[in-house]
Amino acid sequence: MKVYDGSKAAESEPTERIKVGIAEYDVSTNGAVLTTSGLGSCIGVAIYDRAVGASGLVHVMLPTAEDVDGGNPAKFADTGVETLVSALEDEGADSSNMIAKIAGGSDMLDFSKNGSGIGARNLTVVRETLDALDIPIVEADVGGDHGRSLRLEGETGDLIVKSANREEKRL
């Protein structure tokens, strides 16, 4: 039984949550939890630099920004990843210390008669862009035919993947 003695209990501050919408990105250096949902053919790219405790998440929709004039760079796999890396570097992260975890890229609708689906094309461009930046993908939960929601824990760099009717995964 707890007896009130007039003192305040030590309250730990709740971890900050940052919601990253479709075609958006955000970074944190204070251990915040970055979340995004609605990943079907979209891909969530989580990047973490353990040395400085910087984390970032981008929710990309389409493979490349070519042929689009003045578009939102976070909307595209190529420019979205580049923009996220640049934002992390602005916060003191070093690309040589960065690791990536990715999730999404499902083929929710079958357009295979017109070539590979948007999810597969997004995945190809994300992988190519991270490879060009020399940032290794250390974990992935990609493909399939189901949607996903993500939670990037800024304290650890763990990426939690939730999908309907599937077990939660910790990457």
Q: What is the CATH number of the domain that holds 118?
A: 3.30.1330.200
CB 28 within 8 A of CB 53: no
Give the pLDDT confidence of 1-48 residue by residue, as tens digits: 444 454 444 445 567 899 999 999 999 999 999 999 999 999 999 999
Strand partners, 47: 56, 100
Domain count, the chain: 1
Asked whether residue 110 is assigned to any structural domain, the reply reads yes
| 3-state DSSP assignment of residue 35 | strand
Asked whether residue 85 is assigned to any structural domain, the reply reads yes
Give the pLDDT confidence of 54-92 residue by residue, as tens digits: 999 999 999 988 756 667 999 999 999 999 999 999 999
Domain of residue 91, residue span: 17-170
pLDDT at position 171 over 80: yes
Please enumerate, as own/partner, the contacts of 133-136 that have beta carbons within 8 Å and a separation of 24 or more.
133/81, 133/82, 133/85, 133/95, 134/95, 134/96, 135/47, 135/85, 135/95, 135/98, 135/99, 135/100, 136/99, 136/100
Asked whether residue 146 is assigned to any structural domain, the reply reads yes
Asked whether residue 10 is assigned to any structural domain, the reply reads no
Looking at per-residue pLDDT, the higher value among 123 and 168 belongs to 123
CA–CA distance from 39 to each of 70, 113, 144, 146 (Å)? 24, 23, 12, 9
Asked whether residue 135 is assigned to any structural domain, the reply reads yes
Confidence of residue 165 (pLDDT cuts 50, 70, 90): confident
Cα(51)–Cα(110) distance, integer angstroms? 42
Asked whether residue 138 is assigned to any structural domain, the reply reads yes
Quick count: other Cβ atoms within 10 Å of Cβ 16? Answer: 12
Asked whether residue 8 is assigned to any structural domain, the reply reads no
What pLDDT, on a 0 to 100 scale, did the predictor assign at position 10?
Answer: 45
Give the pLDDT confidence of 112-160 residue by residue, as tens digits: 555 568 999 999 999 999 999 999 999 999 999 899 999 999 999 999 9
